[in-house]
Amino acid sequence: MVVAAIILAGGFGRRMGGHGPVTKVLAIVDGQPMIRRPVQAALDSGLRPVIVVTGHTAPEVETAVAGLPILIAHSTTPDEGMAASLRAGIAAVPADALGVAVLLGDMPGVTADHLGRLREAFRAAPDAIVAPTVDGRRGNPVLWPRSLFPELLEVTGDVGGRDVLHRHADRLVSVPMDGCSDAGRGVMEDIDTAEDLDAWRAAWENPKGCG
* Model confidence pLDDT, tens digit, residues 152-189: 999 998 888 999 999 999 999 999 997 655 556 799 98
pLDDT-derived band at 71, boundaries 50, 70, 90: very high
Tell me the sheet residues that pair with 73: 53
How high is the pLDDT of residue 98?
Answer: 98
Task: Give the Cα separation of 131 and 195 in Å (integer).
Answer: 27
Q: Which of 8-22, 60-74, 181-195 has the lowest mean pLDDT?
A: 8-22
Structure confidence at residue 145 as a pLDDT band (50, 70, 90): very high
Dist. CA 174–CA 34, nearest whole Å: 26
- Of the pLDDT bands very low, low, confident and very high (cuts 50, 70, 90), residue 89 is very high
> Confidence class of residue 197 from pLDDT cuts 50, 70 and 90?
confident
Interatomic CA distance for residues 109 and 139, integer angstroms: 12
Strand ranges for the chain from DSSP E? 3-9, 28-29, 32-33, 50-54, 71-74, 99-104, 129-134, 137-138, 142-145, 172-176
Query: What whole-number distance in Å separates Cα of residue 43 and Cα of residue 173?
Result: 23
Query: Is the confidence at residue 84, as pLDDT, over 80?
Result: yes
Question: Which residues have C-beta within 8 Å of that of residue 205, sequence separation ≥ 6?
Answer: none
User: Percentage of the chain with pLDDT > 70?
Assistant: 88
Supply the pTM of this predicted model: 0.92
Judge whether residue 37 has pLDDT over 90: yes
Q: Tell me which long-range contacts 166-169 makes (C-beta under 8 A, separation of at least 24).
A: 168/129
For the chain, domains (ranges, CATH) are 3-205 (3.90.550.10)
DSSP annotation of 169? G
**pLDDT reported for residue 18:** 47
